[in-house]
Structure 1
Amino acid sequence: MRATLRWAHSDLRSHRGEALFLVLVSGGIVASLLLATALFGYATNPWQRVFTQAHGAHVWIHSGRSSDASKLARLDGVESVAGPYPTESVTVTSRGTRASVELRGTLRPPSVGRPLLTAGHWLDPSDPAGVVLESRLARALLAEPGDTLIIPGTARSLTVVGIADSAEPRYSPGEQPGLVWALPSALRSADGQVTGLRLTDPEDTDYAVQRAVTVLGAGAISEVSTWQQARAEAQGENRLLGQVLGLFGLGALVAAGCAVHGAIGTRVRGHLRDISVLKAIGFTPGQVVRVFLLQHVAYALLGAALAAALTQGLGGRIPGRLGDAVGVWQGLPGHTVALLAVPVAAVLFIAATTGLAAWRAGRVPPVPVPRPAASAGGRLTGVARAALGLRLPPALVLGWRQAFTRRARSLATVVRLALPLLLIVVAMSAWTTIDRFHSRPADIGLAAALTVRPDAGLDDTATRALLAGNPRIAAAYPGVEVAALVPGQTATIALRGLGTRQDPYPYALAEGRRAHGPDEAVAGQGLLDLLDVRVGDWVRMTVGDQPQILHIVGRSIEPENAGRVISTSLDTLRENDPRLHPTLYQLRLRPGADPHQVADELSRAAHGHLDVHPVANPADGLSPLRGVVLALIAVLALIGITELLTAIGGTVREGERDLLALKAIGLSPRQITGITVTAMVCTALAAVCVATALGIPLAHWLIDAQGRSSGIGAGLAQEPSPVLLVPFGAVAVLGAGALAALPASRAARRRLADTLSAVA
C-alpha cells in the first residue's frame, strides 16, 4: 500500500495541472446535473403539490348559462364535481395595469379545485364586493389584500380580500383570463358557467370530455381545459432549462470520461518501463490497475463532493430562477436521495472509463520490451518529401506528419478533443437561437408587438381611427379569437382570424404557403399533432353550434397556446358567421418604436377604453439560459484543456525518440519545438472542423426537436454566425499551440544524455 501511495503521489506531482482540471471538470459536471435535477423538481412539484392539496379537478368545462351542467355529475368515471359556478368576463384595473378576468361566483371554498389561500382570508357575505385573486393574476396587477380593483366603463369596484394558489390554467395576458373568486351577488351579468370534474381515472380525460359534449351538446360548450394542459403550462421554461442542463451535463460527463480514458492510456504508454519495474518488484496486475483507478476516482470524488456541497450550501443564493429552483428542491422529499445519487452515478461512470483504460496497464509485461529503433511512424511519405522539396519549413511538414502518422491513435485524439468542442458549438447555437427570438421576433411568429382589445365603450370605427392616428404604428390587423372544439370533441383549440385578404397578417411559415383563398388557414405544430393531420388536409371544428371547415395550407411557427392554434383571415370567419366583429387588433410597430411607450399613448388617448399589452416573447423566460450556457461552455472548455494537455504530453513523449535524429540533421531547438506545436495545431484544427461539421446539424436537430415537443414547431434553430465560429476555432487552435509551446521547448533543449536514457 505504501508503494502504491508513493507512486500515486509522484504521479500527482508530475501532473498537477491535469489533476486540477479533472477535479474542476468533475465538479462542474456534477453541479450541472444537480441543477438540472433541481429544475425538474421545481418545474413539476409546485403544481403537483397545489393540485393534490386542492383536490384539483381533472377537467374544467365552460358552458352557456342555459345548459344543465348538473347532468355532468352522473357521467361514468366522474368521482366528484365542482360547481356549476356562474361566471362573468370583465376587465379590471389596478395600479394602472389592466387584465381580463373571469369572475366566478361561489359562497364557500369548493371541495374540488379548492383555492389554497396564501394571503388574506376567504369571501365574507358581510363584504359583497370582496374577491379572492389567483396568485399569478395578483402579481400581474401588483394587488394585495385591501387593494381596490376598478372595472372600467362602470361604477363597479371590487376589494381584494385574499390571494390563493390554484391548479387551473394560470393568467396569461392576451391568452388566458385571470381567475377571481367572488360572491354570486357580485356578478351583475353572468355570461356562462363553469364545472369541474374530478375523475376516478385521470387518464380517461378525453373520454370524459366526449361524454360531456354529448350530454350538454357541442353548442353549449365554449371551452374545455384539462389537468395535462395546466401542468404543461405551469412547468413552462423551467422544464426546458432542466432539459438543457441535463443534456449538456450528460454530454459533458461522456466527454470527461473519454478525456480520462485518453489521459490514462497516454500515461500508460509513457510509463511502460516504470510499470514493468513495478511488476518486477512484486506488483500484481490488479495492484497496477488499482493505482490508476483509485487515483482518478479520488479526483472525481473530490470534484463531486465539492459540487454537492456548493450546490447544497450556496445553490439557493444563485440569483433568478436557478436559485428559486434549488430552494424549492431542497424542501422536496427526494432531495437527499438525489443529492447523493447524482454524484455517485457520475463518479461510477468516471470509474468505469478509468478502469477500462487502466486495464491496459495491468497487461504490461514485467520484462520491458525494447523500443523499436525506428520511429513507429515509418519513413516520410511521398507527400512529405515533396513538401520538403518545395522548401516548406521542416517544422511544418514534420509537425503535420507527427500529428497524423499513427492513424488510429491520431483519430482517437481528434475524436476525444472534438467531443467537448462539438458540445460548445451546440451551446453557441442555443445562444444564437435565443438572440434570434429577441432581435427578430417576426421570424418566430411574433410580427406584432402589441395586442389591443377595445371595450364596449369604443366601437370598431373609433378604434381604427385611434390606431391610425398614432405615427409609431406601422400596421393594425383586426382580428377575433375564439375557442373551438376539435374533431372528436376532446379538447378546445384557438381559432384565430387575423387581417384581411387585402392586408393579410404576416405569419412566419416553416412549411407550405400563406392562406390566400377562401377557407384556407395555417396551423401550429401543436394543432397538427393534436389532430394528427398534415399540411394539405382539411379539418372540421365547432365554434359553439357553428361548424367551421378549413383547408390547412401551411404550418406557422406558433409560440402561443402550445401551438394549438389555427389561423385564417377575418374575412373567412365572417363568411361563415357575418355577426363576427373584430375584438382585438395586432399592432406592428415602426422600427425603433418602444412598445411600452406606444401602449401608454394609446391608453391615454382612449381614456381607459383600450386594453393594451405587449405580445409575450417566449425568450423572455429563457434569460437564465444565457448564464447556463456560459457555465456549460466553461466546463466543456476545461474538458478540452484536459484533453489537450494529455495529447501534448503524449506527443512530447513520443517525440523524444526522434530528438537525436532531428538534432543530427541540423534542426535547431526552435525548429524542433515548432514540430510539436505544429502537430498540436493540426490536431486541434482537425477537431474544430469535425466539431463544427457535426455540431451545427446536431444543434438544428436538438432545437427543432424541442420546438416540436413544445408545440411551437421546427424551424427555430439558428446556427452560429461566422463572427462566433471563426474566433471559436481560432481560440481553440491558437490555444493548443500556446499550451504546447512550453513543454515542447523544454523537451527540445534536453541534454543529450537525458535523451539517450529516454530512448534506451
Structure 2
Amino acid sequence: MRATLRWAHADFRAHRGEALFVVLASAGIIASLLLAGALFSYAANPWQRIFNQSQGAHIWLHTRAGADTADLSGLDGVAALSGPYRTGATTVELQGARAAVALRAAETRPPEVGRPLVTSGSWLAPPDGGGAAGTVVLESSVARALWAEPGDTVRVTGQDGAVSRLRVTGVAEAAEPRYQAGGGPGIGWVLPDTLDTLAPDDTGQSVGLRLKDAGDTDFMVQRAVTLLGADRVAQVTKWQQARAEAGGDDRLLGQLFAVFGLGALLAAALAASGTIGARVRGQLRDIAVLKAVGFTPGQVVRGFLVQHLAFALLGVALGTAAIAFLGERIPGRIGDAAALWQDLPGHAALMTGVPGGAILLIAAATGLAAWRAGRVPPVPVARAAQPSAAPMTALGRRALGMRLPPALVLGWRSAFPRRGRTAVAVGRLALPLVLITVALVAWSTLDQFRSRPAEMGIPAALTVRAQQPGGSTEDELLRTVAGIPEVAAVHPGAEMAALVPGQTGTITLRGLGTAQQPYPVAVAEGRAARGADEAVAGQGLLDLLGVRVGDWVRMTVEGRPQILHIVGRSIEPESGGRIISTTLDALKNRDPQLRPEFHALVLTEGSDPRTVRTALDEAAGGTLEIRETPNPADRLEPARGVIAALIAVLALIGLTELLTLIGVGVRDRGRDLLALKAIGLTPRQIGSVIVIGAGLTALVAAVAGTTLGALSGVWLVDTQGSSSGMGAGIAHLPPWPVLLAVVGGAVAGAVAAASLPATRTARRRLADSLSETL
C-alpha cells in the first residue's frame, strides 16, 4: 500500500495540470447542477417559495367581529400569530373590471408572520408620508384581474353602497388562496383609518396561525375552532388548500424541469467519466513501466482508485461548498434562488444526493478505467505496435490526388478514424446539444403564447360582459364596440356547467360565435364545429370521458340533455382542458331563451389589449365589465430564467466534453502527427489538421444533436401539454437562425478550444516527440 501511495503522489506531481483539470471540471459540473437544482425549485414551486420567504401562516381563521383571538397564541403547537386584522368586504373596480376584495387593516410596517411580499410599488405609507389615507396594496391575483398597477386609482364600494377612491401603492404576493372570478374574495391591505371610512361597521377579522409542525394542521384547526366557538368562525383556509390551487400552475414546470435535470445529470456523468477515462488511457505507458518493475494488477487498480477518488472528492467538495457558502452572493435571480433554496423542500436531498451520486458515478467510471489499466501488458513496445488511427481510405487517397488541401483531408481522417470511436465521440458531444435544443423548443413555445396567442387557443384578447345591472344593453354594447377600430371581430358567448354521463363530475359547456360568424377556435385535430350539433373539445375532456374525435357525447345542462358530436380537438389552456365548445346557435336549440352572457373580442394584429380596454371603457362610460383573457405565459414566465441558466450549465458540460475529446485526439494521434511532420508538413498544416478535426467532429455532433433535440423537444412539450389537459400541438420549433446559431456556436467553440493544443503541438520539435513512439 505504501508503494501505491508513493506512486500516486509521484504521478500527481508529474501531471499536475491534468489533475487540476479533473478537479476543476468536477467542481464546475457539481456547482452547475446544484445551481440548476436551486433554480428548478425556485421556479417550479413558487407557492412554497413565497410561503417560506413570507413566514406564511399554516391556518387562516376568518371570524366574526368581536371574536377574542388572543388565547390562540397559547395553544400548544402554535409558533406565532399573524394578526388579528379587522376586515371589510368590498367590491373594487378599475376601468370596467370588478373583483370582490376583503380589505384588511394593516400597519405601516408589514408583519413578520404572514408578511405580504411587495413585488412592485411600495407598502402602505405612514400618515406623514403623503399617502396615509386613501391607499391600498392589492394581492397579485387581484391586481392581475383588475389590470391594476402602482399609481392607479380604483373605485371601492362598501356594503352600504358608498363609493370611495383609493390609490394603489403596491402589488404584493401572499401564500394564501388566489382570487378567482366567481370564487372567494381576494385580499387587499389598507390602513386602519381607511378601513374605518370604507366599513364603519366591521364585518369580521382574520388571524393567521403559524404552526411548529405543518402536519398538525387538521388537529390545530379543531382546537382553534373549539377555543373560539364554532358560531364565531366563518371560514377556515389551510395551507394545503392554497398550495393545491397554485399546484396546477406548477405541474407543467415541474415535469419539464425534472426531465431537463435528469438529462443534465446524465450529460454531466458522461463528461466526468470521459475526463477520468481519458486520463487513465493517457498513462498506459506509465502503467506498463510500473508492471515491468514489479507492480501487480491489484496495486495498479488501487493506485488509480485512490488517486482519482481523491480528485473526485476534492472537486465535489469544492463545488458543493462554493454553492453552499457563496451561491447566495451571485447577483440576480440565481443568487435569490440559491438563498431561498435552503428553506425549500428537497434542499437537503439535492445537496447530498447530487454530490453523492456524482461520487458514485465517478467511482464506477474510475473502477472500470482502473480495471482496464490493470490488464495493460508490461511491454511498452506493444502499444507502439498498434495502429493509432485508421488506414488511409481509397476516398482519402483520391482526395489527395485531386490536390485538395492535405490539412482538410487529414483533418477529416482525424475526426472520423473508426466507426465505433467516431460514434462514441459524436454521441457524447451531441447529448448536451440535444438538451440545449430541447430547452430552446420550450423557450420558443413560451414565446408563441405571447406573439401568436390565437394559434395557442387564445384568439380573443378581451371579454366584455353585457347585461350588467344598470349597464349597457347588448345592442348598445355592440354599437360601442363597433366604434373601436382595433376590434377585428365580436363573438357572443355563454358558459355553463354540465354534468358528464353518469353525473359523476362537471365540465364546462361553452357556446361561442354563430353559424354565420364562427369563433376562431385553435383546432389541433379534426376540424372546427359547423353544424347545429357539432362541437370541439379539449384534451382534458377527452381524457375524462374516455372519448375520441368523432364520438357523440351526452351531457346534462340545467336538467335537460345536450347531445353533441365531437368533430375536433381544440387547444384549451384553461380549466385543465375540460371544456367542450360549440356555437351559441347550438345552445339556443336546447334553450331558445338563452342570451349571450359575454362577448369575446378578437383584436387586430399588433393591438395592445390594455389600450383597447381603456378606449372601450371610456366609450362605454364605465358601464362594462372588461376582462383580459388569461395567458398561460404569465404563469410560466419564471421558466425563462431557468431555461437560460440550464442552457449555460449544458454549455459548460459540453465544453468539458469537448476539451476531453480534443485532448484525447491530440494524444492518441501523436505518432501520426510526428510522421506528418517528418514527411514535410508545415507547423501551420499540422495545427490545421487538429483544428479541422475538432471542427468536423463538432459539426457532425451539432447537426445530429440539434436535429434529435428538435424532434425530442416537440415530442416532450406536446406530451406535457397533453398530460396537463391543454393538448398536443402547442410545441413550436425555434427559428432556423437560432438553430443555425447553435450549430455555429458549437463549431466555433470547438475551433477555439482546439487552437491552443494545435499551436502547442505544431511547435513541438521532433526530438521532443520521440517519446510518442513508446
CA spacing shift, 1:118–1:676, aligned 2, 3 Å: closer
CA spacing shift, 1:296–1:117, aligned 2, 3 Å: closer
Q: Are positions 1:33 and 2:37 aligned together? A: yes
Where do residues 129-278 of structure 1 align in structure 2 (5 Å cutoff)?
136-137=141-142, 150=156, 155=161, 170-172=178-180, 178=185, 233-278=245-290
Determine the C-alpha separation between the residues in 2 that align with 1:44 and 1:534.
Answer: 37
Q: Which residue of 1 aligns with 2:310?
A: 294
Q: Which residue of 2 aligns with 1:446?
A: 458
Determine the C-alpha separation between the residues in 2 that align with 1:14 and 1:635.
Answer: 22
Aligned-pair CA distance for 1:620: 2.0
Give yes or no for contact 1:420–1:636 (8 Å, CA) kept in 2. yes
The one of 382, 389, 402 equivalent to 1:377 is 389
Structure 1: unaligned runs, 5 residues or longer: 57-89, 104-115, 120-131, 188-201, 203-225
- Which whole-Å deviations, capped at 9, do the CAs of 1:366-416 have from their partners, x for residues lacking one? 443533446343532111111111111111112211222222222211111
Point out the more displaced range, 746-755 or 374-383: 374-383
Q: Which residue of 2 aligns with 1:435?
A: 447
Give yes or no for contact 2:34–2:351 (8 Å, CA) kept in 1. no
Q: Which residue of 2 aligns with 1:557?
A: 571
Give yes or no for contact 2:429–2:698 (8 Å, CA) kept in 1. yes
Q: Are positions 1:625 and 2:624 aligned together? A: no
Determine the C-alpha separation between the residues in 1 that align with 2:701 and 2:382.
Answer: 33
The one of 587, 591, 595 equivalent to 1:581 is 595
Give yes or no for contact 1:134–1:166 (8 Å, CA) kept in 2. no
Give yes or no for contact 1:300–1:347 (8 Å, CA) kept in 2. yes
Where do residues 601-616 of structure 1 align in structure 2 (5 Å cutoff)?
601-616=615-630
CA spacing shift, 1:8–1:462, aligned 2, 3 Å: same
Give yes or no for contact 2:415–2:696 (8 Å, CA) kept in 1. yes
Aligned-pair CA distance for 1:624: 2.2
- Which whole-Å deviations, capped at 9, do the CAs of 1:520-547 have from their partners, x for residues lacking one? 1111111111111111111122222222
Give yes or no for contact 2:96–2:625 (8 Å, CA) kept in 1. no
The one of 4, 25, 34 equivalent to 2:8 is 4
What is the TM-score with the length of structure 1 in the denominator?
0.78
CA spacing shift, 1:338–1:696, aligned 2, 3 Å: closer
Where do residues 738-749 of structure 1 align in structure 2 (5 Å cutoff)?
738-749=752-763
Give yes or no for contact 1:33–1:342 (8 Å, CA) kept in 2. no
CA spacing shift, 1:751–1:250, aligned 2, 3 Å: same
Determine the C-alpha separation between the residues in 1 that align with 2:324 and 2:155.
Answer: 47
Determine the C-alpha separation between the residues in 1 that align with 2:412 and 2:537.
Answer: 54
What amino acid maps onto 1:459 in structure 2? T
CA spacing shift, 1:438–1:546, aligned 2, 3 Å: same
What amino acid maps onto 2:728 in structure 1? A
Q: Which residue of 2 aligns with 1:750?
A: 764
Q: Could you say what secondary structure the match of 2:495 adopts? A: strand
Q: Which residue of 2 aligns with 1:80?
A: none
CA spacing shift, 1:342–1:377, aligned 2, 3 Å: closer
Aligned-pair CA distance for 1:689: 1.9
Q: Are positions 1:407 and 2:419 aligned together? A: yes
What amino acid maps onto 1:99 in structure 2? R
Point out the more displaced range, 337-346 or 641-650: 337-346
Q: Could you say what secondary structure the match of 1:370 adopts? A: helix
- Which whole-Å deviations, capped at 9, do the CAs of 1:507-526 have from their partners, x for residues lacking one? 11100000000111111111
Give yes or no for contact 2:305–2:363 (8 Å, CA) kept in 1. no
The one of 516, 526, 549 equivalent to 1:535 is 549
Aligned-pair CA distance for 1:469: 1.3
Give yes or no for contact 2:304–2:366 (8 Å, CA) kept in 1. no
Point out the more displaced range, 499-508 or 257-266: 257-266
Point out the more displaced range, 644-653 or 267-276: 267-276
Point out the more displaced range, 45-54 or 335-344: 45-54
Give yes or no for contact 1:34–1:342 (8 Å, CA) kept in 2. no
Q: Which residue of 2 aligns with 1:13?
A: 17
Where do residues 336-355 of structure 1 align in structure 2 (5 Å cutoff)?
336-355=348-367
Q: Which residue of 2 aligns with 1:494?
A: 508
What amino acid maps onto 1:24 in structure 2? G
Give yes or no for contact 2:411–2:693 (8 Å, CA) kept in 1. yes
Aligned-pair CA distance for 1:757: 2.2
| Percent pairwise identity | 49
Q: Which residue of 2 aligns with 1:397?
A: 409
What amino acid maps onto 2:477 in structure 1? T
Aligned-pair CA distance for 1:714: 0.5
Determine the C-alpha separation between the residues in 2 that align with 1:556 and 1:736.
Answer: 45
Aligned-pair CA distance for 1:172: 3.7
What amino acid maps onto 2:24 in structure 1? L
Q: Which residue of 2 aligns with 1:98?
A: 97
Determine the C-alpha separation between the residues in 2 that align with 1:537 and 1:650.
Answer: 60
Aligned-pair CA distance for 1:253: 1.5
Q: Which residue of 2 aligns with 1:207?
A: none
- Which whole-Å deviations, capped at 9, do the CAs of 1:135-179 have from their partners, x for residues lacking one? 8447856799xx99645999455999xx998976x3245x86746
What amino acid maps onto 1:92 in structure 2? T
Residues matched between the structures, number = 659
Aligned-pair CA distance for 1:715: 0.5
CA spacing shift, 1:353–1:97, aligned 2, 3 Å: farther
Aligned-pair CA distance for 1:102: 9.5
Give yes or no for contact 1:37–1:338 (8 Å, CA) kept in 2. no
Determine the C-alpha separation between the residues in 2 that align with 1:741 and 1:505.
Answer: 59
Determine the C-alpha separation between the residues in 1 that align with 2:320 and 2:630.
Answer: 39
Aligned-pair CA distance for 1:499: 0.7
CA spacing shift, 1:14–1:469, aligned 2, 3 Å: same
Give yes or no for contact 1:36–1:243 (8 Å, CA) kept in 2. no
CA spacing shift, 1:179–1:483, aligned 2, 3 Å: farther
Give yes or no for contact 1:479–1:584 (8 Å, CA) kept in 2. yes
Q: Which residue of 1 aligns with 2:751?
A: 737
Where do residues 670-689 of structure 1 align in structure 2 (5 Å cutoff)?
670-689=684-703
- Which whole-Å deviations, capped at 9, do the CAs of 1:683-705 have from their partners, x for residues lacking one? 11111122122111110111011
Determine the C-alpha separation between the residues in 2 that align with 1:360 and 1:8.
Answer: 20
CA spacing shift, 1:17–1:265, aligned 2, 3 Å: closer
Give yes or no for contact 1:30–1:249 (8 Å, CA) kept in 2. no
Determine the C-alpha separation between the residues in 2 that align with 1:32 and 1:558.
Answer: 31
CA spacing shift, 1:474–1:177, aligned 2, 3 Å: farther
Structure 2: unaligned runs, 5 residues or longer: 63-88, 103-112, 117-136, 167-171, 189-197, 204-217, 219-237
Give yes or no for contact 1:289–1:361 (8 Å, CA) kept in 2. no
Give yes or no for contact 1:40–1:242 (8 Å, CA) kept in 2. yes
Q: Could you say what secondary structure the match of 2:268 adopts? A: helix
CA spacing shift, 1:333–1:390, aligned 2, 3 Å: closer
Determine the C-alpha separation between the residues in 2 that align with 1:376 and 1:328.
Answer: 52
The one of 580, 584, 589 equivalent to 1:566 is 580
CA spacing shift, 1:451–1:8, aligned 2, 3 Å: farther
Q: Are positions 1:308 and 2:324 aligned together? A: yes
Determine the C-alpha separation between the residues in 2 that align with 1:429 and 1:140.
Answer: 30
CA spacing shift, 1:295–1:16, aligned 2, 3 Å: closer
Give yes or no for contact 1:43–1:236 (8 Å, CA) kept in 2. no
CA spacing shift, 1:308–1:721, aligned 2, 3 Å: same
Determine the C-alpha separation between the residues in 2 that align with 1:720 and 1:460.
Answer: 43
Determine the C-alpha separation between the residues in 1 that align with 2:701 and 2:738.
Answer: 17
Give yes or no for contact 2:34–2:350 (8 Å, CA) kept in 1. no
- Which whole-Å deviations, capped at 9, do the CAs of 1:457-500 have from their partners, x for residues lacking one? 21111111111111111111111111222223233222111110
Determine the C-alpha separation between the residues in 2 that align with 1:379 and 1:483.
Answer: 74
Aligned-pair CA distance for 1:237: 3.8
CA spacing shift, 1:666–1:391, aligned 2, 3 Å: same
Give yes or no for contact 1:35–1:242 (8 Å, CA) kept in 2. no
Q: Are positions 1:426 and 2:432 aligned together? A: no
